[in-house]
Amino acid sequence: MIPKTTLAFSGVLHAKVRGHLFPSDGLEAAAILICTHTPGSRLRLLVREAILVPHAACKRRERDALTWPGEYLEQAIDMAEPVGCAVVLIHSHPGGLFGFSEADDQSDRRVIPSLFHAFGALHGSAVMTADGAVRARLYDPGLQERPVDLVSVSGDDLRYWWEDQATSCGSADRPIAFTSGMAAELGRLSALVIGASGTGSITGEQLARLGFGRVQTVDFDRIEWKNLNRILNSNRADVDANRLKVEVFVEAVDGYRGEGVAIAVPASITTREAVLAAAECDVIFCCVDTLEARHIADLIAAAFLLPLFDVGVVIPVRKKGDTFAVADVCGRIDYVQPGGSTLQDRGIYTPESLRGEYLRRVAPEAHQQELEAGYLKGLVEEAPAVITLNMRAASACVNEFIARAYPFRLEPNHLYARTEFSLAACEEEHIAETAFTRTPNLLLARGNAEPLLGMPMLRGLAQ
């Protein structure tokens, strides 16, 4: 079952909080999390800021006890109230207790009411153990308590701590990659696939068969004859019926997984409908051929603290006499973690290239546009026979997710922020996260603030 409540950290902020909560002295420490939340029915609290309570300011710090001054709570209220954030109090358990002690219960009963007296309808508390595992709970104004179903961290690794699998002595063992245990956990996660064509249909098929509990697919386009050689599960009848690509995907998944797993979002990713669908998910796979769609995926990943896997393929073509020759056969997979370098930071698109793409779309010279936008750069090809390349790239993209969530590499995941392969040269290269320059991201954990993603065109009707 997809979790109803989630507390989501970026890897960068989780590491910052963990470093503060576990200094070398082995004593308890505290911090205050300022959390936005996503729009929609699923409650995902997004850790936007962390107020680190100075160790020296605490009146009492012991291995199993902590007292800290109220001025930091007042600071949290001043930050959270104007923008309607939730406040989550978090402290460390150096002794390893992965749960709430009686002393924690008593502390919450004293402190949490002051938060509700100031503002809001939802606040909470959390504990962290030395390995970084987090367990959290939420309160309503009546101090009715409910556990947070899932705490997630999207960093170099993707980490998940489930409330119903936790024990007092520690979080449950993580599933091993490529096992039924992995499939069982995936059954509790939701994925969004942007694009249901060449790489998108293959990526969605893999996610559904791996066991994801929900696979939402965003695409407004319809099946054409030229698509039949590379879109999985498509057929002639779909072309004749002018069916949407997402409808074809849903029908196929219904046949082997049952209804309710695959969800069609027949819209552009630039629409409010698609952005709201993304906010309900746990991971994004971007399988598109436009810079604008990648730009929106970048914004979604930052605003909703979602890991993003972006895949692209291209076959550069060169003129050879009176004919053409293949110069290379390339693929690229980028993993973007919220708080890390974005696709824009990595040069996948720039403001200038976005503007150029827009101008080609609104004032196109059709032939030139096809030359620049197709699979084969420099050659117009209506139905390129690229399913083998798409398969290679889509598989690498999904395996990148598995490597992050269920680590199996011999080297650390931070070395693989980007993977590039050349089938012509039989080479594969990897680029580390530290190789990219990260710029400040004002959208990070923006959540449901209107307009969504800071874009006026996504503003709700009531705004």
Q: Looking at the structure, tell me whether residues 207 and 333 fall in a common domain.
A: yes
Residue 191 in domain: yes
CA 186 to centroid of chain Cα atoms = 14
139 DSSP β-pair partners: 123, 145
Instruction: Indicate the residue among 108, 134, 165 that finishes a domain.
Output: 165
Q: Looking at the structure, tell me whether residues 103 and 248 fall in a common domain.
A: no
Per-residue pLDDT of the chain (463 residues; tens, 9 = 90+): 899 999 999 999 999 999 999 998 999 999 999 999 999 889 999 999 999 999 999 999 999 999 998 899 999 999 999 999 999 999 999 999 999 999 999 999 999 999 999 999 999 999 999 999 999 999 999 999 999 999 999 999 999 999 999 887 777 789 999 999 999 999 999 999 999 999 999 999 999 999 999 999 999 999 999 999 999 999 999 999 999 999 999 999 999 999 999 999 999 999 999 999 999 999 999 999 899 999 999 999 999 999 999 999 988 878 777 777 888 899 999 999 999 999 999 999 888 878 777 777 776 665 455 545 566 555 555 667 889 999 999 999 999 999 999 999 999 999 999 999 999 999 999 999 999 999 999 999 999 999 999 999 998 755 4
What is the number of other CB atoms lying within 10 angstroms of the CB of residue 47? 26
Q: Looking at the structure, tell me whether residues 389 and 437 fall in a common domain.
A: yes
Contacts of 216 (CB under 8 A, 6+ apart): 190, 191, 192, 193, 262, 263, 264, 265, 277, 278, 280, 281
Contacts of 217 (CB under 8 A, 6+ apart): 192, 193, 196, 200, 204, 245, 246, 249, 250, 262, 263, 264, 265
Residue 173 in domain: no
Q: Looking at the structure, tell me whether residues 196 and 317 fall in a common domain.
A: yes
Rounded CA gap, 116 and 409, in Å?
46
DSSP tag of 225? G
What is the number of other CB atoms lying within 10 angstroms of the CB of residue 379? 17
Contacts of 180 (CB under 8 A, 6+ apart): none
Rounded CA gap, 244 and 251, in Å?
11
Domain count, the chain: 2
Q: Please give the pLDDT value at position 286.
A: 98
Rounded CA gap, 13 and 19, in Å?
10
Query: Quick check: 7 and 151 in contact, CB under 8 A?
Result: yes
DSSP tag of 438? P
Q: Looking at the structure, tell me whether residues 257 and 121 fall in a common domain.
A: no
Q: Please give the pLDDT value at position 172.
A: 78
Residue 174 in domain: no
Residue 323 in domain: yes
For the domain that residue 372 is a member of, what is the CATH number?
3.40.50.720
Q: How does strand 86-92 pair with strand 66-67?
A: unpaired
315 DSSP β-pair partners: 376
Q: Please give the pLDDT value at position 403.
A: 98
Instruction: Indicate the residue among 105, 133, 165 that finishes a domain.
Output: 165
What is the residue range of 225's domain?
A: 180-458
Residue 171 in domain: no
DSSP tag of 141? T
Residue 175 in domain: no
Q: Please give the pLDDT value at position 355.
A: 77
Residue 58 in domain: yes
Q: Looking at the structure, tell me whether residues 194 and 120 fall in a common domain.
A: no
b (16+ CB within 10 A) / e for 211-241: bbbbbbbbbbebbeeebeebbbbbeeebbee
Residue 103 three-state SS: helix
The pair phi, psi for residue 176, each rounded to 5°, is: -90, 140
Cis peptide before 451 (omega within 30 of 0): yes
Rounded CA gap, 378 and 194, in Å?
26
Q: Looking at the structure, tell me whether residues 206 and 155 fall in a common domain.
A: no
Nearest Cα to 4, choosing from 35, 37, 32? 37
